[in-house]
Amino acid sequence: MKTVNKEFDVVVLGAGPGGLAAALAAGRGGAKVLLVEKNGYLGGNMAIGLPLLGFLDKDGNKVIGGIADEFMKDMASYETAYGRAASEHKVCPMHNSVTLYDHELFKIVALHKVLDAGIEVLFHTDIESVNVENAEIREITLRGKGYRIFVKAKIYIDASGDGDMAYLAGASYEKGQKDTGILQPPTMMFTLSGVDIDRTIDYLAENPDQMDRSKTIDCAGGYDADFFRSDPNFVMVAMRKLFSQLREQGKMPVNRENIIVINSLLPGEVHMNCTRHLGTDGSDVFSVTRAEIEGYLQIEKFVETLHQYVPGFEKCYISQIYPSLGIRESRRFSGIRQLTESDVVNGVFNEETIGIGSYCVDIHAGDGLSTIFTKIPAYGIPYGITVSDEIEGLMFAGRCASMDAVAMSSARVMPICMAIGEAAGVGAALAIKQGISPREVDVTQVRKTLLDAGAILSVNK
């Protein structure tokens, strides 16, 4: 095996939404940055067919700016054969807001931004071990394609989603819902082409009871066929009645209560958020492998069911199955501050706020069909959730940051993860410039830097 030694100011593990934003903010702040990614592309879950939720709060106020919004503005400037490569932030009675974009083009836009910021990228690489001495990270070992790469840095940002670096460093973490430990199930996203979505909307108009929701789903009025007709930039959650009937008849291959259809910018194409894998732990390689095998088999049978029973899907076909599961929940690590259920449901802001969350509390049951979906006010995200309270030099970006299970169920969506990551990157760059720990960084300076970069830290009503 070949060995290589490298040194950087900041190492970011994971190039998903949180990691991308962290690397860009740190690089733009003057730090020498290495961005490590296990896949051969940038974006993580931003490249698997999902929409962006949470740019607007439940009252329609814009609450996410900064790097996340910069990406969408740059995407919208691309003129393609089907139009612009990103939609506006559209108000949604269920999801607060929905933003659609071209997932494949996003990979290219992300790469340009990273390279322009002078960030070194390492694809097809994962973490093997973390050397911790006296509660401080001294070095990490990466591995890929027959190389063992020893990397020293001043600050290490874990944006792996599952917190793999923090776990190997021995940091404390929690998993699952309070009292039960049950994890939200992941989904294998896939794309269908050949869909007549107008026919599906007509079916919903003719059968309005197919828009009925369970009592645990909080949704404003007007989420119906007319809403879907009004603008193609939508996420459709529907057909609970039909799916219930199919389950009773033994014809539903997926253990879920409704269909989730994400309309695409491309005509005739939709992204499907429909497979469901109960009992899956995203931080366990054996569990993830089982779920991915299950995902392919579920997709095959589910598409057959759509052909037979869902109007508009009679001639659809699979055009893409995405290369990794969409993990909703795994490890959450201990920081100098924790974002809690009380913070998010009560809309707490304070002087440490470095970003805003506003997406609903969204908990997919890990032991059944249901989903808890509750609208909440906008809330402040404190800087301290990005900083380990146990291991010097360790920071977090994205859903592995210091949050309880309910808070994470809201903050896990991608624009919020980018806001968290951007703040972590700013904090890391400031710490390096000043020769201090991320714990010692003046949050006032973090906030100023973020505001200068277009972040939103308060709600303007």
For residue 162, tell me if it sits in a domain.
Answer: yes
For residue 460, tell me if it sits in a domain.
Answer: no
For residue 74, tell me if it sits in a domain.
Answer: yes
Q: What is the pLDDT of residue 80?
A: 86
Q: What is the pLDDT of residue 153?
A: 98
Domains: count for the chain: 2
Name the E strands within 168-304: 173-175, 190-193, 235-238, 259-263, 270-272
H helices of 83-222, in order, are 103-116, 164-168, 197-206
The sign of the CA dihedral 321, 373, 73, 162 is negative
Check whether residue 27 and residue 158 sit in a common domain. Answer: yes
For residue 79, tell me if it sits in a domain.
Answer: yes
Please tell me the distance from the alpha carbon of residue 197 to that of residue 263, in angstroms, as a whole number. 8
Query: pTM of whole model > 0.85?
Result: yes
The CA–CA distances, whole Å, from 347 to 96, 132, 220, 232, 381 equal 15, 37, 19, 31, 10
- The CATH number covering residue 14 comes to 3.50.50.60
For residue 252, tell me if it sits in a domain.
Answer: yes
Q: What is the pLDDT of residue 215?
A: 92
Phi, psi of 320 (to 5 degrees): -160, 140
Check whether residue 234 and residue 128 sit in a common domain. Answer: no
CA 412 to chain centre: 5
For residue 120, tell me if it sits in a domain.
Answer: yes
The last residue of one of the domains, among 269, 290, 321, is 321
Check whether residue 227 and residue 174 sit in a common domain. Answer: no
Q: What is the pLDDT of residues 210-240, one digit of tens each?
A: 999 999 999 999 999 999 999 899 999 999 9
Check whether residue 36 and residue 158 sit in a common domain. Answer: yes
Decide: 34 and 410 in contact? Cβ < 8 Å. no
The last residue of one of the domains, among 321, 339, 358, is 321
Q: What is the pLDDT of residue 81?
A: 82
Check whether residue 176 and residue 257 sit in a common domain. Answer: no
Check whether residue 88 and residue 160 sit in a common domain. Answer: yes
Check whether residue 20 and residue 108 sit in a common domain. Answer: yes
Check whether residue 134 and residue 283 sit in a common domain. Answer: no
Q: What is the pLDDT of residues 59-94, one digit of tens each?
A: 999 999 999 999 999 999 988 888 899 999 999 999
Check whether residue 213 and residue 80 sit in a common domain. Answer: no
**Positions of the chain with pLDDT under 70:** 461
Q: What is the pLDDT of residue 461?
A: 54
Please tell me the distance from the alpha carbon of residue 395 to that of residue 127, in angstroms, as a whole number. 16
CB count within 10 Å of CB 144 equals 17
Q: What is the pLDDT of residue 79?
A: 84
Check whether residue 132 and residue 12 sit in a common domain. Answer: yes
Check whether residue 299 and residue 367 sit in a common domain. Answer: no
Decide: 325 and 291 in contact? Cβ < 8 Å. yes
The last residue of one of the domains, among 321, 351, 382, is 321
Check whether residue 361 and residue 421 sit in a common domain. Answer: yes
Q: What is the pLDDT of residue 256?
A: 87
Q: What domain range is 229 assigned to?
A: 190-321
For residue 459, tell me if it sits in a domain.
Answer: no
